[in-house]
């Protein structure tokens, strides 16, 4: 506690003992007046109490404040500081164009009108999304009719970021020659799908910018859609399908493949689980085109949709096994999900499931392939073998033990990521 300022020493009865003082510690004897307690360890004497000057009650209620120099601005440079404050106030109070002129040429140039360099096309460009090639293409007139003059047969696809240049667009006769050459090379298997897709997209683009809507246009989109299905490119297939639905609205452009693509459309809606669109398409075909509705391919697709809606997995698998068209590629996208869904229903109903029974239901060629499929799904540990090595060997799935595992597999397969949907 040594060195504490004005420390209060408690009073004790009896004679007060004197504390030993250090040789170099001065002691002040003054300060008893005014009942002030003095710390003997502090060399400085306390100041005597000063009597304050009496003030009238009115003067203490209100004291005017001089706001002209409240912050002492006159001491910051006099007239120079005032001039800086005045210029700063002008910059903030004036318009942006005027403030730019004042900052460059002074107050005399405030009356000048700055040159308008506003570019509305550049203003529409969105630089926040660096993945977008151009966001201002919608400002150009897409209905402007042009006729291409390019004579190049093979041309790679390049996304348009400005108005199409006729010198880079091929006319209809050149596009027909390019299509014929492309199909010839495809039949000879000289090119890959990546090359085919690039060339077809370039042909489609040239048709689109010239607003050519003929049977040749429908043929190009149908061919590209089939090639995309064969290669599993659902994104390009969806783009071709969307354009075909617009072209098919014109009676003169309905091709003989219209029924086939309607069956593809039903399977596509099944893949995206859009049951409302399937019902709308059924009603439209019944009212507007009953001939197409009665076609076998269309009927088979509708029956497949009904079986899935009713959870009739037995009928669903039988119809899937009978599909021979390119629609099989669309079915394969969601077939595994339907297998897991059917297996989940079976596991909830039975305690044991024979692998021979599962093989027949899910159209597997043999029991070994069925067991291999279950092992890939981490269900191999639930396969039980009885009388192994004998003629009565019997394999079954312990469905009671694997119910939760199968349910988790089905829930995890319900999402299908399809490129090109946005």
Q: What is the pLDDT of residue 170?
A: 95
pLDDT at 109 exceeding the cut of 70: no
Rounded Cα gap, residues 1 and 142, in angstroms? 90
Structural Rg of the chain based on CA atoms: 45
CB atoms within 10 A of CB 409: 20
Residue carrying structure tokens 């299908």: 416
pLDDT at 318 exceeding the cut of 90: yes
Burial letters for 154-181: b for 16+ Cβ neighbours within 10 Å, e otherwise? Answer: ebeeeebeeebeeeebbbbebbeebbee
Q: What is the CATH architecture of 139-334? A: Alpha Horseshoe (1.25)
Contact 225, 208 (CB under 8 A): no
Percentage of residues of the chain with pLDDT beyond 90: 55
CB atoms within 10 A of CB 212: 16
Percentage of residues of the chain with pLDDT beyond 70: 68
Rounded Cα gap, residues 218 and 234, in angstroms? 19
**Which residues lie closer than 8 Å to 314 by C-beta, 6 or more apart?**
361
6-10, 18-22, 116-120, 259-263 — which one is most confidently predicted on average? Answer: 259-263
Q: What is the pLDDT of residue 30?
A: 47
* Domain spans of the chain, in order of start: 139-334
pLDDT at 174 exceeding the cut of 80: yes
Q: What is the pLDDT of residue 246?
A: 95
pLDDT digits (tens, 9 = 90+) for 301-311: 999 999 999 99
Lowest mean pLDDT among 157-161, 262-266, 363-367, 389-393: 389-393
Q: How confident is the model at residue 128 (pLDDT cuts 50, 70, 90)?
A: low
Rounded Cα gap, residues 395 and 317, in angstroms? 22
Going by the DSSP 8-state scheme, the letter that residue 306 receives in this structure is H
Average of pLDDT values for 103-132? 48
pLDDT at 312 exceeding the cut of 60: yes
Q: How confident is the model at residue 123 (pLDDT cuts 50, 70, 90)?
A: low
Q: Is the pTM of this model over 0.75?
A: no
**Which residues lie closer than 8 Å to 125 by C-beta, 6 or more apart?**
134, 135, 136
Q: What is the pLDDT of residue 41?
A: 52
CB atoms within 10 A of CB 16: 9
pLDDT at 137 exceeding the cut of 60: no
Average of pLDDT values for 61-85? 60
């Amino acid at each position: 506690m040594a060195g504490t300022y004005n420390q209060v020493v408690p009073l004790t009865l009896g004679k007060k003992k004197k504390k030993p003082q250090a040789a170099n510690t001065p002691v002040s004897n003054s300060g008893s007046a005014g009942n002030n307690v003095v710390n003997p360890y502090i060399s400085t004497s306390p100041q005597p109490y000063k009597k304050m000057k009496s003030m009238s009650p009115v003067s203490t209620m209100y004291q005017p404040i001089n706001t002209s120099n409240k912050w002492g601005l006159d001491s910051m440079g006099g007239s120079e500081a005032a001039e800086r404050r005045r210029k700063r106030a002008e910059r903030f109070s004036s318009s942006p164009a005027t403030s730019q002129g004042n900052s460059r040429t002074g107050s005399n140039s405030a009356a000048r009108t700055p040159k308008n360099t506003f570019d509305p096309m550049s203003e529409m460009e969105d630089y926040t999304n660096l993945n977008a090639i151009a966001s201002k293409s919608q400002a150009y007139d897409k209905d402007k009719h042009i006729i291409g003059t390019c004579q190049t047969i093979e041309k790679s696809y390049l996304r348009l970021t400005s108005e199409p240049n006729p010198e880079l667009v091929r006319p209809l006769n050149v596009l027909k020659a390019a299509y014929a050459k492309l199909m010839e090379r495809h039949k000879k298997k000289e090119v890959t799908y990546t090359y085919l897709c690039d060339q077809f997209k370039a042909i489609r683009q040239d048709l689109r910018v010239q607003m050519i809507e003929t049977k040749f246009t429908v043929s190009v989109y149908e061919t590209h859609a089939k090639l995309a299905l064969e290669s599993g490119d659902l994104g390009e297939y969806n783009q071709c399908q969307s354009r075909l639905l617009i072209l098919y609205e014109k009676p003169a452009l309905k091709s003989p493949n219209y029924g086939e693509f309607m069956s593809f459309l039903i399977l596509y809606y099944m893949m995206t689980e859009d049951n409302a669109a399937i019902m709308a398409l059924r009603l439209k075909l019944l009212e507007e085109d009953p001939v197409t509705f009665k076609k076998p391919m269309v009927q088979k697709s509708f029956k497949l949709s009904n079986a899935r809606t009713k959870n009739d997995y037995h009928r669903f698998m039988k119809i899937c096994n009978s599909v021979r068209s390119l629609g099989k590629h669309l079915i394969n996208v969601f077939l595994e999900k339907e297998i897991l869904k059917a297996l989940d229903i079976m596991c909830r109903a039975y305690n044991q499931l024979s692998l021979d029974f599962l093989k027949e239901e899910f159209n597997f060629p043999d029991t070994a392939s069925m067991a291999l499929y279950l092992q890939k799904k981490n269900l191999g540990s639930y396969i039980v073998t009885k009388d192994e090595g004998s003629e009565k060997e019997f394999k079954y799935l312990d469905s009671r033990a694997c119910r939760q595992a199968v349910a988790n597999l089905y829930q995890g397969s319900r999402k299908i990521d399809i490129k090109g949907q946005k």
